[in-house]
Structure 1
Amino acid sequence: MIRSALKPALQATTLLVASSLALAACSKKAPAELPPPPAPTTTTEAPPPATPQGPAPGSQADFAQQMMGKDTIYFDTDKFNVDADDQAALAQQAQWLAKYPAKKATIEGHADERGTREYNLALGERRANAAKNYLVSLGVDAGRLTTVSYGKERPVALGSDEASWAKNRRAVTVTID
């Protein structure tokens, strides 16, 4: 009886030893000699393309950056004439627009808070048209320019004093994408 109880245990042990030996026989052996290391490669990879710094050329941000504040011209009280300072700013705008002939622009006319809404809308329109006409005289195609008057509706300075009013009497050129 002891013999029959030992027989399955002996068979299991024998099977385990045989399996271990079989697996050990299948293991890889280290080669006698290692292969040579790979030869260094000399590829002439192009450096990654440089990421542009600053605004995209021809964009409104580029226009504003290039103008350095000269995208806006200022007027005296109740006036819409283009003076010497305004002419220099508009000349710089015309040069930029000549560089990007497919670009269109809107000239926004503004007025200070004094006067009626109707009066200031008309004054803003005259200011925008004066800036447009000067740009056209410098060679900018009139078809590329539109005007809009905001009158006193979009002030940049909210004070009720001469300094604030002077900042609000303006024409601003904005490029259209």
Structure 2
Amino acid sequence: MKQLPVASKALSIIFALVWMVGCASTDTSEADAAAAAAAEQAAAEAAAEQAEAEAANKASMMQQAIEDAASAAGNVLYFEFDSATLRPAAQDILDAHIALAKTNGDSIRLEGHTDERGTREYNMALGERRAKAVASYMAASGVAGYRIESVSYGEERPASSGSSEGSWSQNRRVEIK
């Protein structure tokens, strides 16, 4: 069913009320008063519907802007060698994702990764420390802890293969999912 614009609905209601009042009554002063009251009520309802639609549109636009900012910031946080300390650039990325998380109820998965240096057990623990550092920052910024899941893949899922500092630096990361 096609919906009429708010103004068309209001005019239809006014016209119908005026017609019914005109047909049912011979006293024009009562009919005029009833028509004026109906018109006033219809106009008030139309204004309220329009204000509600504008508020919903504004909220939708704000939500989209927050989602765009989080997307533009990226979802990968990089770390120094053998470190689980957040860099300032990582905090900026996280702030964009935290703003988004505060507007929805989505769960967040943090995947910790390391480069190939070190033992498998050490790298699994380091990946976990990195993911937990991100989770702690998010929780301290107001994201509920039950919404955050931390997982470590250690060196098992490299973003870049190779045995150079360039490759290793791309593998020392936490990905926000």
- TM-score relative to the length of structure 1: 0.60
Is 1:82 the equivalent of 2:86? yes
1:28 is matched with which residue?
none
Higher relative contact order (CA 8 A, sep 6+): 1
Contact 2:69 2:96 (C-alpha < 8 Å) held by counterparts:
no
Is 1:157 the equivalent of 2:157? no
1:144 is matched with which residue?
147
1:115 is matched with which residue?
118
Residue 66 of structure 1: how far off its partner (Å): 3.6
Residue 69 of structure 1: how far off its partner (Å): 5.0
SS at match of 2:98: helix
Alignment RMSD (CA, Å): 2.3
What CA distance in whole angstroms lies between the structure 2 residues aligned with 1:127 and 1:82? Answer: 8
What CA distance in whole angstroms lies between the structure 1 residues aligned with 2:166 and 2:91? Answer: 22
Letter in 1 for 2:164: D
Residue 63 of structure 1: how far off its partner (Å): 6.1
What CA distance in whole angstroms lies between the structure 2 residues aligned with 1:87 and 1:152? Answer: 23
Gaps of 5+ in 1: 1-43, 47-57
Residue 159 of structure 1: how far off its partner (Å): 1.3
Gaps of 5+ in 2: 5-62
SS at match of 1:68: helix
The structure whose residues are more often helix, as a share, is 2
Contact 1:64 1:71 (C-alpha < 8 Å) held by counterparts:
no
Mapping of residues 1-177 of structure 1, within 5 Å: 66-68=70-72, 70-100=74-104, 102-174=105-177
Residue 64 of structure 1: how far off its partner (Å): 8.7
- TM-score relative to the length of structure 2: 0.60
SS at match of 1:103: coil
C-alpha spacing 1:155/1:99, structure 2 compared with 1 (3 Å): same
SS at match of 1:171: strand
1:13 is matched with which residue?
none
Q: Which structure's CA Rg is the greater one? A: 1
Q: How many residues align?
A: 116
